[in-house]
Copies of this chain bind each other. A is one copy, B any other.
Amino acid sequence: MLKKIAEAMAEAGSIAILPHMAADGDAIGSSLALAIGLSEAGKEVSVFLEEKVPHIYDFLPGLEMARVYDGVETKYDLAVALDCGDIERLGSRKPVFGKAAVTVNIDHHATNTGFAMLDYVDTSCAAVGEIIYELFGQMGADPGKDAAICLYTAIASDTGGFRYSNTTSRTHTIASELLEKGIDVADISRRIFDTVSPGKVRLIGEAVNSLELFEDGRIAVMSVSYEAMRRSGAADEDTDGIINIARNISGVEAAAMIREMENGDIRVNLRSNSYVDVSAVASKYSGGGHMRAAGFTARNSDLETVREMLLEDLRGML
């Protein structure tokens, strides 16, 4: 099927590339790598995005072929959806896809609905970037340094820098070949992994300040009031991952982050390391999740009450 897709691309004159909305490193990197490869093969290529590219990806080559979709319905010979589990992930760009003479869907989500004329879904790939690397091979092309930077960014992003369990032997083989192109891994890694906003750093400070350890350091709780959140200047998405600071403390089995929202709701994130089933705690309060990561929202309560309640629950599970 990947060969068929390469052939369809070879026959097309104009190609639209459509990553999923709220595009991440894999979606953006894969799109730009493919754009670079197709452009080098003489195609007229446009990458249409739903929103502006996040600043951390400003360094990626090929961005001159990408723009936020303006709603003008041009007809393309071929449109390819990248990293989209279903067609709704194209948002306002669905008509660009629908009007194309040939539609292609390249993805790695097990839930992919198979919405195109040519579907290629490989769930064994950690990143769509791995599939695009193989597509270069099918197109008889070798990615140059620019495409290699984009593909490395795609693969490193979706594997958490080769640390997540989706990382395979093949992931490293592809990375090995991309490094042959002379890309600067230290620079790319710093850009995609280390950059944080001033607000997030202040929020980390607020969260760490509030850290309490209980039961010989087996339970870690962080509580962030709305006032602390406001003071930090952090955005809502800056709370992502802060619970891991508590979970990663040596000796900690169960970690909770309790956060007061602007409307007074109390949002709770729970993590565990080895044996505590935090989803049982979350479901008690109509929340959800799985054994090691779960959460719930408490209404008509306050930080202190939720904290006490949680502590009692977690103590009972050690």
Contact = CB atoms under 8 A, between A and B. Distances in A.
Interface of A: 55-56, 160-165, 167-173, 175-177, 179-180, 184-186, 189-190, 193-198, 201-202, 204-205, 208-209, 211, 213, 217, 244-246, 248-251
B249 A197 contact: yes
Contact of A167 (B185, B198, B201, B246): B185
Contacts of A202: 208, 211
A170, A177, A201 interface centre (most CB from chain B within 10 Å): A201
Given A205-B211, A209-B209, A162 B165 contact: no
Contacts of A205: 204-205, 208-209, 211
A252 to B, nearest CB: 8
The complex is assembled from copies of this chain, and their number is 2
A176 B179 contact: no
Contacts of A163: 161, 185-186, 189-190, 193
Nearest to A177: B169
B165 A185 contact: yes
Given A162-B175, A189-B163, A201 B211 contact: yes
Contacts of A171: 176, 179
A179 B159 CA distance: 14
Given A163-B193, A201-B246, 13 more contacts: A161-B161, A162-B175, A163-B190, A165-B184, A167-B186, A171-B179, A172-B173, A172-B179, A173-B176, A198-B213, A198-B217, A202-B211, A208-B208
A211 B202 CA distance: 8
Contacts of A208: 201-202, 204-205, 208
